[in-house]
Structure 1
Amino acid sequence: MSNKLSAEEIPILLRDYRLTFEPAIDATYSISAKNLLDAEQALVYLQTIAPFFQSPSLLVTASLFGKRYSVLTMASAFYAMSRYDKGLQVAIENIWVEAEGHAKPWLPNVRFIDHMVSEPTTDRNAWRDEVLKGIFADNLAKAWQSLTKISKIPKTILWENTAIYVNWLYETKIREGANEQEINRLQEDYDYIVNQAPGALFGEKKNPLKKYCGPKVKIKESKHPIRLRKTCCFYYHTSDETNDYCISCPKIKRLV
């Protein structure tokens, strides 16, 4: 069964989840996502956006762009899946990264070519698998493979970048305003994504998120428990300060 987002459902995705229906006025910083799979076009694009990150290398640019791209791919799709029971068409061939050059911080939007959505019938679990396959195996896995080939960034970093936003979206963002029934569905979807979903849905042999979604721990640098990263995203390379690591960075020497 296919349908469209309703007039009541669209505004929140436009406002809070990086969705847009309009191409950027200046297409310099936009790209059809499928072109990320072409090494030459992807390289040119990474070089074009590197100044937004003050990035010193292709590897750093790939990591920081990967963070934004994972959010674009997942945010509106997860919200639609878990709050609306609707599946956006997130395969890499169906989306554009739309961005303007003047925005600070640089936060691109996602534009869909085909706006039709799927809905569960009798088996929501099977439907959910198809939605997740579109997000991960048919999009992010392909993008990460290409970025790894171009920049030599380990896929483990890209998948941990992804996991961080899966955690944030399901534990915080898309819970905003949810009722009890929606919270239960959100939790069920989250548990499945990070613990039970098979590797095939991610285009991998094993679920690549599971090892990055464990329990939070208390550290002296934070008032609240956090998850410590297992890989470094290289954000510190964009800072003017020496060793300006993220609070969860594995490069920080911590007392045991």
Structure 2
Amino acid sequence: MTEEQEQEQIKDFGSKFDLHPGIPEGTKHSFNAGDMADEAGMRAFIECYRPLIKGLDDKVAATYFAGAFGNIALAVQYALTVASAVPVVSLQRLSVHLIPADGYWRAAFSLGEWSFEPAPAEAGQRREWRNEQLIRFYRDTAAPMLSMLSRVTGLSGGEIWGQLPTKFNYYLEVFTSGGLPERLLNTLQDDYRYLCEEIPAEIFGLKKNPFRVQVRKLESLADPDKTVNMRNRCCLYYRTEGGSYCYTCPRLKEEERAVRRTEFRKPASAGQA
């Protein structure tokens, strides 16, 4: 990869995954991920983050941050398949930034130093390289921080890690419906299959691989001819000030979902009449 290609790749990460080469514009608070892997650092982050998102308890901050961190995991997966060069995302290089945005706060990320691990030139060595890259990221970067997030907030590891598959499955559908060449599509699916089915649960610090989930389809809120994915785990939005269960929440009863569809579609029906 040339220097010009690296710069284009870094720019792409910023627009797609909110992972930047420097502190993003508008940042009000910043934290080093290495510090967040320690109890004191994680507590400092949660104490700052929870009131910003109007969380009623620390567990809300845990789900919200885990959802945001899914962008970094997805960036690694995307780079692995599409770019054949994975950015080195270590805890000490990674920073978290809290930014006000249209009435809410987003968690963005940056790497203080950028370097890439390119795929081997020989195709036969790619699978071993892929396995190594994914295991290293989840074992050395994701697991230490998310395990500490669980310890500090009291939310189970399964609930925290469970925020990631929803995002992964959504983007997988986006990528696979985008007319990818068959060879790249096969690679994408095989790389995701490895993540879901072959990485041992202990790499994540869990008893079960959190990506090994069944996707459940729901009738779209707006269009009865379309479907959307049910969330894998509740994001705890209902535990924020003025919050409620999301339409795709697994905790929402089907009867309540049906009522929401009816209510949502009423204005459209009235307008047509």
TM-score by length of 2: 0.79
Q: Which aligned pairs between 1:139-218 and structure 2 lie closer than 5 A?
A: 139-172=141-174, 176=178, 178-210=180-212, 212=213, 214-218=214-218
- Pair 1:237-2:227 in alignment: no
Q: 8 Å contact 2:217–2:230 — kept in the other structure?
A: yes
- Pair 1:45-2:45 in alignment: yes
- Pair 1:114-2:113 in alignment: yes
* Runs of 4+ with >6 A deviation: none
Larger radius of gyration: 2
Secondary structure of 1:31's counterpart equals strand
TM-score by length of 1: 0.83
Measured in 2, the distance between the counterparts of 1:95 and 1:175 equals 31
Task: Extract unaligned runs of 5+ from structure 1.
Answer: none
Q: Percent identity?
A: 21
Measured in 2, the distance between the counterparts of 1:8 and 1:230 equals 33
- The one-letter code of the counterpart of 2:190 is E
Measured in 2, the distance between the counterparts of 1:199 and 1:39 equals 23
Cα deviation code 1:163-187 (max 9, x no counterpart): 1122123222586574333222211
Q: 8 Å contact 2:54–2:240 — kept in the other structure?
A: yes
Measured in 2, the distance between the counterparts of 1:251 and 1:37 equals 30
Coordinate RMSD, CA, aligned: 2.8
Q: Is the alpha carbon distance of 1:248 and 1:11 closer, same or farther for their aligned partners in structure 2, counting shifts above 3 Å?
A: same
More strand as a share of residues: 2
Task: Extract unaligned runs of 5+ from structure 2.
Answer: 256-273
Measured in 2, the distance between the counterparts of 1:168 and 1:205 equals 24
Measured in 1, the distance between the counterparts of 2:165 and 2:207 equals 17
Number of residue pairs the alignment of both structures matches: 249
In structure 1, the residue matched to 2:18 is 18
Q: 8 Å contact 1:39–1:146 — kept in the other structure?
A: yes
Deviation, structure 1 residue 63: 1.5
Deviation, structure 1 residue 129: 1.4
In structure 2, the residue matched to 1:96 is 95
Deviation, structure 1 residue 197: 2.7
